[in-house]
Amino acid sequence: MSQLQPYVNHKVLVAMNDGRVVVGTLRGLDQTTNIIMQGCEERIYSEDEGVEVVPLGLYLIRGDNIAVIGLIDEALDNGLDLDETRGQPLEPIKH
């Protein structure tokens, strides 16, 4: 059993190798950590402006594009004011 199996049907944040950050509900995964997410949004961070949220809907991410997957505390996430949140964008991973 995958260590990610307990995250299925929960809200997760995925940081991808190219620096993108996607948030949504994990619906499924396979043995190579390809994942299916529902209700996704990409969060684009900026040091000068608030976080831009881009709706994506249903999303499939290949396992080799994933850097980190983390469970989100939904109460804490819902309380965030993303318009006022500033942050340096993630840099792509270089191999």
The order of strands in the sheet holding 21-29 is 52-61, 35-44, 21-29, 11-16, 66-71
pLDDT in tens, 14-69: 999 999 999 999 999 999 999 999 999 999 999 999 999 999 999 999 999 999 99
Q: What pTM does this model have?
A: 0.89
CA nearest 20: which of 40, 49, 2, 38? 40
Look at strands 11-16 and 21-29 and give their pairing: antiparallel
3-class secondary structure, 76? helix
* Dist. CA 85–CA 48, nearest whole Å: 10
Contacts (Cβ under 8 Å, ≥6 apart) of 95: none
